[in-house]
């Protein structure tokens, strides 16, 4: 009886650990809420709600992507990061949003050093003068 009980506990523990790891992988990256919202206003990528879930639309080209429900948030992060590498510039006090022709659209001021660090880490860009 003891052997059966230990096998049952071991299996339950294994499934719990696998479930927890899967849940952690499915979660999107942590974001600085203020900066992400401010920068996302200028990003061409938006969500479209459908009966089957969420689609990602490029508002400039009209292209639609239909990733599965488990990866839609990760795919949006990937697209935002690609866009950010070419359309964002970090200075000492601001993040500058650039248009397609590299013209300055707006400046968003950092309220604290953590916001600057988050922008640099999330979008993979470094401060330029």
User: Which tens digits make up the pLDDT trace of 33-76?
Assistant: 999 999 999 999 999 998 888 899 998 898 999 988 878 888 99
Reference 90, options 69, 119, 61, 50; nearest CA is 119
Q: What is the pTM of this model?
A: 0.78
CB 87 within 8 Å of CB 99: yes
User: Which tens digits make up the pLDDT trace of 3-39?
Assistant: 888 899 999 999 999 988 888 877 777 888 999 999 9
Q: Average pLDDT in the 98-111 region?
A: 92
């Amino acid at each position: 009886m003891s052997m059966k009980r230990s096998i049952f506990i071991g299996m339950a523990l294994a499934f719990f650990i696998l479930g927890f790891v899967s849940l952690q992988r499915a979660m999107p990256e942590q974001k600085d809420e203020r900066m992400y919202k401010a920068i996302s206003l200028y990003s061409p990528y938006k969500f479209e709600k459908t009966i089957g879930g969420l689609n990602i639309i490029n508002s400039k080209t009209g292209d639609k992507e239909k990733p599965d429900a488990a990866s839609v948030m990760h795919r949006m992060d990937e697209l935002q990061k690609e866009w950010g590498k070419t359309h964002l510039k970090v200075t000492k006090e601001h993040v500058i949003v650039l248009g397609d022709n590299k013209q300055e659209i707006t400046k968003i001021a950092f309220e604290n050093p953590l916001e600057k660090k988050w922008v640099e880490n999330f979008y993979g860009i470094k401060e330029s003068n």
